[in-house]
Structure 1
Amino acid sequence: MRNNGPIALIFHALVVTFVLAPLLVVCLVAFTPEDTLSLPTHGVSLRWFKAIFEHPDFVQSFYNSLLLALLSATLSLCVALPAGLAIGRLSFAGRDFLNALFLSPLIIPTLVLGVALMRLFASMGVSGSFGWLVVAHVVVISPYVLRLVLAAVVGMDKSAEQAAQSLGAGPWTVFRRVTLPMILPGITGGWLLAFINSFDELTMSIFVTTPATVTLPVRMYMYATESIDPMMASVSALMILITGAAMLILDRVYGLDKVLIGQQG
């Protein structure tokens, strides 16, 4: 194992470089003063970042994505928290089925899910509603919240709850004063992971958005089909910044290694 240490380190360094190199190139191109996507560039300019604010449709799409991610992540938590507590702590008929039902969106391609939701919303006559777009995102991102909540519930020390009950605390007091603080990192981590996935969701959103509810990833896709200029790199750089900041907070709050274990569990 010791002899494989340097080889493993070099291999992981190459993998990380391969993954991060395109993101670095995009961020560098975002600061170019040129009219085309090109490297090397001559000088540094914020021209294309300013160009974003000259396109009201991009600004509106950003607000749509931000509001959508906030609402869908919060609603997903409201659904996944009681489900995670029930699945992780109780034994009842259909528990495995309920768990599989909540996690089923993970195994359904988002393309198929998008087409199915589009047909469903059309048959219900609610196509174009921002509220139903939130529901569609809740369906997609709820499994991420559930996995982290389940990991936190299963891994918590139940002796603290038993001690509180022995001292006369009621069920609500035990949950509010003992259980909730112990699983709070999993709740926060699940919410942040859901927010990231909702903010970056493209494939499914293409089918359920309308001109009034276009999200930022969909707007970028539509813009890229018409023209490609450095403004796309500047928008991508901002999305990388937002996602990176959310991932940093997630790592500080919960730990990315625990997130990976929770998603695989």
Structure 2
Amino acid sequence: MSNRHSLKHLPSYKSLADVSYTACIYTVAGVALLILLGPVVIMLITSLTDGQSLRFPPTGLSLRWYQELFSARSAPIHQAAGNSLLVALMSSLVAAVLGCMASLVIARSRRRGARVVDALFMSPLILPGIAFGLAALVYFTLIGLRPSLILITIGHIVMVTPFVLRTTGASLAQLDGTLLECSASLGATRWYSFRRITLPIIFPGLVAGSFMAFMASIDNVPVSLFLSSPRSEMLPIRLWGMMESTLDVRIAAVSGIFIVSVLVLMLAMERLVGLSRRLND
């Protein structure tokens, strides 16, 4: 009788365990979302304050600091933003070329050296950024080069190329080698086969990696901190200095523009190339 009684109540125990597990998962997910999205929401609300300093909650809501951001008083911010956009654009373009070429070589080679090359290209993701920035400053100083936009671009290329390499390599895994063999047997050159077969297959991964490289470059602090000069000031460094000196509300306005811009770009990239799927490959 006792066994029957325990078996009779077994389903209720299972359902209670399922409910507890689901509640635990949703609670952890909710806390994670709160930690991730809370600072973003706070920054957006703070950027709409009508006060004279960074304060949350704001005493009132206004767009005055966004208007102030586009005034002549914010010319240094405009110059720093232009430098950051230029470096990020050049870095992502060069990283797209280098990452694509490296992924093609690594995917086609079966030698141990290919794995070594892959590890070398991916090493910037393992090495702390501040360590690389300091090492780059010491190296360029030893060979007689002074900090400039060109050196910042070179440093950013090294840091962001792994993003392109990884997403492009994942797309290359979907390429059937027999397609290239058939193309070669029909007399097509390697360039023609690449342009008509390989490139269309890896293009979504290449675009996704280039987008991630662009975002990583424009938000890079360690390399920009060591390789920038007064004439080549980058936006993150400019905002950092403003936070240390005045806590200007325009910092929140710049952050608000970045948050909205990144959200729009990520939605566009998700629609065009499936960004989340490319990053998970």
Could you tell me the TM-score, scaled by structure 1's length? Answer: 0.92
Stretches of structure 1 lacking an aligned partner (at least 5 in a row): none
Which residue is 1:11 aligned to?
28
Whole-angstrom distance in 2 between the partners of 1:238 and 1:173: 42
Out of 170, 185, 200, the residue aligned to residue 181 of structure 1 is: 200
1:6: Cα distance to partner?
Answer: 4.3
Alignment of 1:86-235 (within 5 A): 86-235=105-254
What are the superposed Cα offsets for residues 14-68 of structure 1, whole Å, 9 maximum, x if unpaired?
Answer: 2112210111110111011111222333442111112223221100001101011
Stretches of structure 2 lacking an aligned partner (at least 5 in a row): 1-16
Contact 1:188 1:253 (8 Å CA) reproduced: no
Larger Rg: 2
Whole-angstrom distance in 2 between the partners of 1:213 and 1:138: 17
What are the superposed Cα offsets for residues 98-136 of structure 1, whole Å, 9 maximum, x if unpaired?
Answer: 111111111111111111111111122221221121101
Task: Say yes or no: does 1:85 pair with 2:104.
Answer: yes
Whole-angstrom distance in 1 between the partners of 2:176 and 2:61: 54
Task: Say yes or no: does 1:44 pair with 2:80.
Answer: no
Between 159-168 and 123-132, the greater mean CA deviation after superposition: 159-168
Q: Give the number of aligned pairs.
A: 262
Query: What is the SS of the residue equivalent to 1:139?
Result: helix
1:10: Cα distance to partner?
Answer: 3.3
Evaluate the alpha carbon distance shift between residue 210 and residue 179 of structure 1 in structure 2; reply closer, same or farther with a 3 A threshold: same
2:64 alignment partner AA? R
Whole-angstrom distance in 1 between the partners of 2:209 and 2:279: 12
Whole-angstrom distance in 2 between the partners of 1:140 and 1:220: 21
Whole-angstrom distance in 1 between the partners of 2:238 and 2:250: 12
Whole-angstrom distance in 2 between the partners of 1:9 and 1:188: 34
Evaluate the alpha carbon distance shift between residue 128 and residue 177 of structure 1 in structure 2; reply closer, same or farther with a 3 A threshold: same
Query: What is the SS of the residue equivalent to 2:170?
Result: helix
Between 245-254 and 202-211, the greater mean CA deviation after superposition: 245-254
1:166: Cα distance to partner?
Answer: 4.1
1:96: Cα distance to partner?
Answer: 1.2
Task: Say yes or no: does 1:22 pair with 2:39.
Answer: yes
Contact 2:89 2:214 (8 Å CA) reproduced: yes
Percent of matched pairs sharing the same residue: 31
Whole-angstrom distance in 1 between the partners of 2:225 and 2:219: 12
Whole-angstrom distance in 2 between the partners of 1:122 and 1:238: 36
Whole-angstrom distance in 2 between the partners of 1:107 and 1:61: 28
Alignment of 1:229-248 (within 5 A): 229-248=248-267
Which residue is 1:72 aligned to?
91
Whole-angstrom distance in 2 between the partners of 1:165 and 1:92: 23
Between 19-28 and 84-93, the greater mean CA deviation after superposition: 84-93
Evaluate the alpha carbon distance shift between residue 237 and residue 255 of structure 1 in structure 2; reply closer, same or farther with a 3 A threshold: same
Q: Which has the higher contact order (CA 8 A, sep 6+)?
A: 1
1:160: Cα distance to partner?
Answer: 3.3
Whole-angstrom distance in 1 between the partners of 2:135 and 2:151: 13
